[in-house]
Structure formats: structure tokens, C-alpha cells
């Protein structure tokens, strides 16, 4: 696949030309503390104030600036990744991003290219050349909150590409964090054992702190009520595969929109496409926050709040249901009970949906989608979960060995 990367890679361990694209002011403002990843003992490469955040750049605008610099070790392609013969996948061209932290990192062109790689990943079979593309690499999973699908799909993705996994589940309780160790110290320690870290944390912004600290790639697998970018990637990938397009769609986001990191990240990605309309359907206590509404408005995305799930479902191409997250309510059990069970997708909702429309859910579900919906072909949530494997295979491949 032809690379759309904003980085050109020369021979291993040689001086390389680094092309840095412009980036939107919005993105600059959000990431003013982030630089190229370089060894901690090295001096930061001098950059103008408009160009110093390129580790989160996409190629959203034409390349207008060049500077020659020696890339740090983590930005070189490891030599053993090039030993694979007859691989159907290209390796070696630098991926635009050093980390996956939030949905705003991706532009439309990069999303399309990632989805192409994900489609290649669907074809990987046991003992095929592609199944060994990450042989010799180690992925560490640091999960400070419970996870089934996300953790297992990342671990499956790594192993299906020949890599190995170091894992800790419930790191909040069963790691040195319980002894008071800082996140930064944990990251500096774990990066010495691995080539990439996948982290879920209970605090919003924790993934960005980890990325600033680490010299290896960090993937945000969910940070509290903040974001879940890989879930958003697989959601958009699923919409494209199920509906056949990403422009000119109507999407209903239902449930816990205040605490749901999946819907926040999804809203950011949907804003990349044309003529998208988003409906917000939620109990009053968990309405979508103003920062997402303001962002969508700034991007020209039409959105509407509604209390009528049946009406919204009849108009939408995608009904994206989410559970009411009890763990986000703390001691306010009364507010949880007020929100729970108000909007349920059942056979009656299916009855008003269009034939081509689909029901999606990031899972796990409780009672917000009745089990009899599973029998309908429009129930896409288990196919959605399977797509997470291919998206995460693609991201691991891109971050570790490039396009």
C-alpha cells in the first residue's frame, strides 16, 4: 500500500529527512506540552512554536516545511521486522503518529488508510507470512479498570501478528500503584520491558501523561470519562462496512452520553465526514457535555437533542446504544436509578428502524438492548466487537513497523 505518511524513512540508523506538516490551531492548543519522543538524556530538537507537536500530527494539510534530524531509536524500524520474506504487507514507512491518545489526532485520509490496513488484517491466517510481522515485539497491557473485549482483542491482535504479550489486569489494585507508585514511574519501568504499551486508566488525561513520559508508543484503551480512540476507530470502520458510506449518514447516540468515552470519541471522528447529523438521546442527568456540542458546531456538524428514541430510530442509519455507567456515579445511586432503563432498544424500536439501519453498542450491555434484538440482522454489535480485532491489529502493525 502506498504510504501517505508525513515521515520519510531512510536507511536504518542513518540521518533521515523528517517532513512535518502543518497542524490546526485547535490541535496545537490541545497539545502544547508534547514534543518528539527522544531519549530523556537528549536535547529536544529546536522547533518553531507552530511545529513542535508533530508526534500527534496528521497529514491534514500539505507539507510546507522540512528539517533534517537524526531520529531517536524508537522512530527507526527495528531490523528484525524486515527479515520476513514474501510478506503481503509493506513495512518500513513511518506511521504519522507515535501514539494513539485521542480521536482528534486522525484526519479523514489517515482514517481511510488505517481502514485499508484493517481490511488486510482480516485476511491474516495462521502460519501465513503476515502472521509473523510482529515476531520479536512485546506489548504490555496496563489496565487500571476492568476490561474484557478491549484487553483480549489487543492481546489477540498482538499474538495473531506473531508478537508476545505482558499483561496486568486490574493494575489499580494488583500493581505497585496500590503502594502509591506514580503513573509516570510505572510507565518508565514498564517501557523497559516492552516495545509498546496499551493502557486503560480511571483518570481522564492519564493516557496523555503516559505518552509524554514514555519513549515507546502508548495506546489509550480508555481513560476514565475522557476518550476511547480505538473504540471510535472500530465504530467508524463498522459503520462503513455495515452502511457502505460515512458521508450523508444520521447517527443516534443513546444512553450515558455524559460519562461515555466511546460516544465522545465517536463524535470527534464523525465530524471528519460530510453531511453527518447526530442525535443525542439520553436521560437528563447524563446529557452530552457542551464541549462535544461546541466542537461539532465548530465543524459544521448538525446535531439535535431529543427525548424520543422511537422518532430518532426511525430516521437514523445507526442507533448507537450505550449502558448507563454505574461506576461513574460514585455515591449518587439515586441519579443512577433515575437514568437507568429510560431508553431501551427492543423489538418495538427495531420495528420503526429502516431496513438498512443497524444497532451498535460498545459492550458490555446490561438491559439497554433486549436479547431478542440479537436475532435481527440489524444487530451489529457482535460484528462490531470482531472488527475491533482488525483495527487493533492494524494499529499495532502501523505503530511498530510502519505502513
* 261: annotated active-site residue: no
**Cell matching residue 148:** 474484557
The residues with which 167 forms a beta bridge, in sequence order, are 141
Go through 332-351 and write b for each residue having 16 or more CB atoms within 10 A of its CB, e for each that does not: eeebbebbbebbbbeeebbe
Give yes or no for a contact between 37 and 98, defined as CB atoms under 8 angstroms apart: yes
**Cell matching residue 212:** 509524554
Distance in Å from the first CA to the final CA of the chain: 7
Active-site residue (options: 228, 272, 340, 365)? 228
The helix/strand/coil state of 118 is: helix
Nearest Cα to Cα of residue 291 among 308, 271, 310: 271
Dihedrals phi, psi of 167, to nearest 5 degrees: -130, 145
Please give the C-alpha separations between residue 35 and each of 49, 79, 98, 211, 400, in angstroms, as whole numbers.
11, 25, 10, 10, 19
**Cell matching residue 232:** 471510535
* 272: annotated active-site residue: no
* 149: annotated active-site residue: yes
Q: Write out the DSSP string of 223-249.
A: ETTS--HHHHHHHHHHHHHHHS-SSS-
The residues with which 164 forms a beta bridge, in sequence order, are 138
Q: Tell me: cis bond preceding 177? Omega within 30 of 0 counts.
A: no
Beta-carbon contacts of residue 286 (< 8 Å; ≥ 6 apart): 255, 256, 257, 258, 259, 260, 324, 339
The conformational region for residue 287 under phi > 0 = left, psi -120 to 50 = alpha, else beta, is beta
**Cell matching residue 50:** 507552530
Active-site residue (options: 19, 200, 241, 264)? 200
Longest dimension (CA), the chain: 63
Active-site residue (options: 110, 150, 213, 238)? 150
Q: Tell me whether strands 16-21 and 63-69 are parallel, antiparallel or unpaired.
A: antiparallel
Give yes or no for a contact between 53 and 212, defined as CB atoms under 8 angstroms apart: no
* 200: annotated active-site residue: yes
**Cell matching residue 359:** 444497532
* 17: annotated active-site residue: no
Active-site residue (options: 135, 149, 299, 383)? 149
How far is residue 205's CA from residue 102's CA, in Å, rounded to a whole number? 10
Active site residues: 149-150, 179, 200, 228
Amino acid at each position: 500500500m502506498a504510504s501517505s505518511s508525513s515521515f520519510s524513512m531512510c536507511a536504518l540508523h542513518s540521518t533521515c529527512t523528517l517532513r512535518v506538516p502543518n497542524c490546526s490551531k485547535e490541535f496545537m492548543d490541545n497539545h502544547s506540552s508534547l514534543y518528539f519522543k527522544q531519549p530523556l538524556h537528549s536535547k529536544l530538537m529546536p522547533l518553531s512554536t507552530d511545529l513542535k507537536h508533530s508526534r500527534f500530527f496528521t497529514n491534514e494539510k500539505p507539507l510546507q516545511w522540512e528539517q533534517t534530524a537524526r531520529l531517536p531509536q524508537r522512530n527507526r524500524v527495528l531490523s528484525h521486522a524486515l527479515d520476513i520474506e514474501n510478506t503481503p504487507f509493506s513495512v518500513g514507512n513511518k506511521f504519522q503518529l507515535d501514539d494513539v491518545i485521542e480521536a482528534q489526532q486522525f484526519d479523514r485520509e489517515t482514517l481511510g488508510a488505517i481502514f485499508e490496513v484493517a481490511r488486510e488484517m482480516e485476511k491474516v491466517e495462521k502460519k501465513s507470512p503476515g502472521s509473523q510481522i510482529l515476531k520479536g515485539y512485546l506489548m504490555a497491557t496496563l489496565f487500571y479498570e476492568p476490561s474484557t473485549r478491549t484487553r483480549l482483542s489487543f492481546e489477540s491482535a498482538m499474538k495473531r501478528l506473531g508478537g508476545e504479550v505482558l499483561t496486568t489486569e486490574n493494575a489499580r489494585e494488583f500493581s505497585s500503584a496500590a503502594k502509591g507508585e506514580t503513573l509516570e514511574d510505572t510507565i518508565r519501568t514498564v517501557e523497559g520491558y516492552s516495545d509498546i504499551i496499551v493502557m486503560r486508566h480511571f483518570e481522564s488525561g492519564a493516557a496523555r501523561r503516559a505518552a509524554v513520559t514514555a519513549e515507546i508508543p502508548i495506546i489509550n484503551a480508555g481513560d476514565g470519562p475522557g476518550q476511547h480512540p480505538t473504540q471510535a476507530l472500530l465504530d467508524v470502520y463498522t459503520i462503513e462496512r455495515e452502511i457502505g458510506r460515512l458521508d450523508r449518514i444520521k447517527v443516534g447516540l443513546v444512553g450515558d452520553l455524559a460519562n461515555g468515552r466511546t460516544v465522545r470519541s465517536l463524535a470527534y471522528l464523525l465530524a471528519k465526514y460530510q453531511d453527518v447529523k447526530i442525535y443525542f438521546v439520553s436521560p437528563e442527568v447524563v446529557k452530552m457535555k457542551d464541549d462535544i456540542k461546541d466542537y461539532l458546531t465548530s465543524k459544521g456538524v448538525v446535531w439535535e437533542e431529543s427525548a424520543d428514541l422511537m422518532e430518532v430510530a426511525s430516521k437514523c442509519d445507526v442507533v448507537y446504544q450505550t449502558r448507563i455507567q454505574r461506576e461513574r456515579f460514585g455515591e449518587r445511586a439515586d441519579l443512577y436509578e433515575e437514568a437507568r432503563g429510560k431508553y431501551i432498544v427492543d423489538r418495538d424500536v427495531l420495528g420503526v428502524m429502516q431496513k438498512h439501519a443497524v444497532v451498535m453498542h460498545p459492550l458490555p450491555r446490561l438491559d439497554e438492548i433486549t436479547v431478542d434484538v440479537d436475532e435481527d440482522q440489524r444487530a451489529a454489535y457482535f460484528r462490531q466487537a470482531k472488527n475491533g480485532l482488525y483495527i487493533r491489529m492494524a494499529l499495532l502493525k502501523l505503530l511498530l513497523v510502519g505502513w
